[in-house]
Chain A
Amino acid sequence: MIVAEQKSLEEMKALISDAEKVLVLGCGTCVTVCFAGGEKETMIASSSLRMATKLDGKDIKIEHATVQRQCEWEYLDQVADQIKDADVVLSLGCGIGVQAIVERFPESWVVPGLNTTFLGLPSEQGVWVERCAACGECVLDITGGICPIARCSKSLMNGPCGGSEDGHCEIDKDVECAWQLIYDRLAAKGKLDSILKLQPPKDWSSSRDGGPRKIVRPDLRFINEELEE
């Protein structure tokens, strides 16, 4: 899932300071499960903003709503009136949600209430960890299902570097060394051969370095066109 964190109340207040009518718009998918922008967080954020702006002596009308998925236009259309009615939409969706609103409602002014942080999973109560950097050419087969791109601080393909100690990474004792994890898992599975081979430089063109990415599926497009006929 996409993991995000709320901006501080101060920051959110600044983002809506010029508005008269604000819509705080949550999202029911990833940011709901990471407790950053679901229905509950959206409600709390809007009432906090209402109180805080009132205390500042401002009269801003703040409404809230939550759609099932902010990153798909059909769900946004369900709240089209509220979006159009607000001078500022404060999105509590991820960065994709913000942009989906902007694209669907170009007349509206949309600002981000979250910092979209990574692709990851909840590892324990209240803790989320990064697992994938969407590099576009998955190498998890080589590394035993542990991602060296997202989880090694230097994205090494031929790790571990000399900074690995007692299972943690050189950058921080709280960061696990991905290559220690890879080594342990492959050793346990009797598959160390896989990392004894020199891995060539990675092709980063499938990653962000190749420019904004796009996937086109002719098979699906074809079916759609048929259906439209």
Chain B
Amino acid sequence: MENEKKEYLSGSSLERILRAGYFAVTGELGPPQNANPEVVRKKAKVLKGNCDAVNITDNQTAIVRMSSIGAGILAEQEGLEPIIQMTCRDRNRLAIQSDLLGAYALGMRNLLCLTGDHQAFGNHPTSKNVFDIDSLQLVKAVADMRDEKKFMSGDEFKSSEPRFLVGAAAAPFADPLDFRPYRLAKKIEAGANFIQTQLVYDLDAFEIYMKKVRELGLHEKAYILAGVGPLKSPMMAKYMKNNVPGILVPDELIERMTEAGAEWKGKKKKDMTKEEKRARSKAWKAEGIKICIDLVKDMQKIEGIAGVHIMAIEWESAVKEIVEGAGLYPRPVVEA
């Protein structure tokens, strides 16, 4: 990690917490599909104090939503530090750089660089995509703005360059599996200061990945936050296992989820009363949170893991339970 005496890169509270050696917690806040600031404020209030910073998604799954910078400012106003997500799908290098200047001017300090889901997934499948640069090139561009004081064109900043803490994502279990640690190495070499991984449920597989990551010395060059998230139901667990690329869900966890709803076993959804359905869902969700707490506890024991990134979009209240359950509450404050 950076020398203790060195100046902060961005001075964000996430950076200060990571640098101080605390086990960091980040969360996620999905902006609404409308222009209502109250939606963001409400979610921010739920998350505030339970995590050190939150990712504000950028047109997630290619569905148009309030911009990540706009929603990030609202979160910041609520006292919740945002991590602005920026994808390469919707902006070329001019738009990306100018948005970064604007975001920094408005007080944003953390940036997560992503390639972005293809627009075929979203609600504008007939649109044109951009992909002028990819996520690695974006990481380098943002790091170069800060460290070399240069635009992508090579032009120099005369003053006031944006100084972001640069983040990137990692997909430990996507294909080609053997290449994944090396792709992470490329991202860190490009300048990523922190990494958030895709959801991890399979600790054995993750240990194998992390072993390689440590062999490559990557955990010493960037803070790696393991992605975790509470399962809502056995169906969701199965769906993710079978349909979401790069997510492994061990059968053992699917069984734990199924077991949690054992009281209602064999009952068809259409034969159940509203109350029964609600009770079953509650039981599943409680187990999902328990599993997540176990995962967070286990992550704290893995060498090279600097924190967790809790993904509980549209279930923000779960974050508090998980953080408390894992003994990570209250969150530390590191003065600038």
Residues of the A chain whose Cβ atoms lie less than 8 Å from the Cβ of B141 = 201
A198 x B118 contact (CB < 8 A): no
A198 x B245 contact (CB < 8 A): no
Assess A200 versus B137: contact at CB under 8 Å? Given A156-B131, A160-B174: yes
Question: At the interface, is chain A mostly helix, strand, loop or mixed?
Answer: loop
B245 x A165 contact (CB < 8 A): yes
State in angstroms the CA–CA spacing of A162 and B183 once bound together: 10
State in angstroms the CA–CA spacing of A208 and B185 once bound together: 33
State in angstroms the CA–CA spacing of A96 and B175 once bound together: 39
Interface residues of B in 51-109 (CB under 8 A from A): 88-89, 93
Most A CB within 10 A of own CB, among B120, B135, B179: B179
Least CB distance from A113 to B in Å reads 23
Q: Please pick, from A156, A159, A165, the residue contacting B246 in the complex, using a CB distance under 8 A.
A: A165
Residues of the A chain whose Cβ atoms lie less than 8 Å from the Cβ of B246 = 162-163, 165
Interface residues of B in 190-236 (CB under 8 A from A): 190, 198
A167 x B175 contact (CB < 8 A): yes
Residues of the A chain whose Cβ atoms lie less than 8 Å from the Cβ of B245 = 162-165, 170
State in angstroms the CA–CA spacing of A157 and B136 once bound together: 9
Least CB distance from A209 to B in Å reads 8
Whether A204 is near chain B, meaning CB under 8 Å from some CB there, is yes
Stretch at the interface among A5-13, A57-65, A99-107, A176-184: A176-184
- Size bin of chain A's contact surface: 20 to 34
**Interface residue total, chain B, C-beta cutoff 8 A:** 37
Whether B117 is near chain A, meaning CB under 8 Å from some CB there, is yes
B118 x A154 contact (CB < 8 A): yes
Q: Please pick, from A158, A177, A192, the residue contacting B136 in the complex, using a CB distance under 8 A.
A: A158
B186 x A171 contact (CB < 8 A): no
Whether A108 is near chain B, meaning CB under 8 Å from some CB there, is no
Residues of the B chain whose Cβ atoms lie less than 8 Å from the Cβ of A157 = 134, 137
Q: Please pick, from B131, B169, B176, the residue contacting A183 in the complex, using a CB distance under 8 A.
A: B176
B131 x A198 contact (CB < 8 A): no
State in angstroms the CA–CA spacing of A112 and B131 once bound together: 30
Residues of the A chain whose Cβ atoms lie less than 8 Å from the Cβ of B117 = 163, 170
State in angstroms the CA–CA spacing of A171 and B118 once bound together: 7
A154 x B137 contact (CB < 8 A): no
Most B CB within 10 A of own CB, among A154, A156, A164: A154
The 6 closest A-B pairs by CB, nearest first: A162-B171, A165-B245, A158-B136, A183-B176, A162-B174, A156-B134
A-B contact pairs, 27 of them (CB 8 A): A154-B115, A154-B116, A154-B129, A154-B131, A154-B134, A156-B134, A158-B135, A158-B136, A161-B174, A162-B115, A162-B169, A162-B245, A163-B117, A163-B174, A164-B175, A165-B175, A165-B245, A170-B117, A170-B245, A171-B120, A180-B175, A187-B178, A196-B185, A198-B190, A199-B137, A201-B152, A204-B132
Chain A residues near B (Cβ < 8 Å): 153-167, 170-172, 177, 179-180, 183-184, 187, 192, 196, 198-201, 204
New A-B contacts (4) at CB < 8 Å, excluding given A154-B134, A157-B134, A158-B137: A158-B183, A161-B174, A164-B175, A170-B121
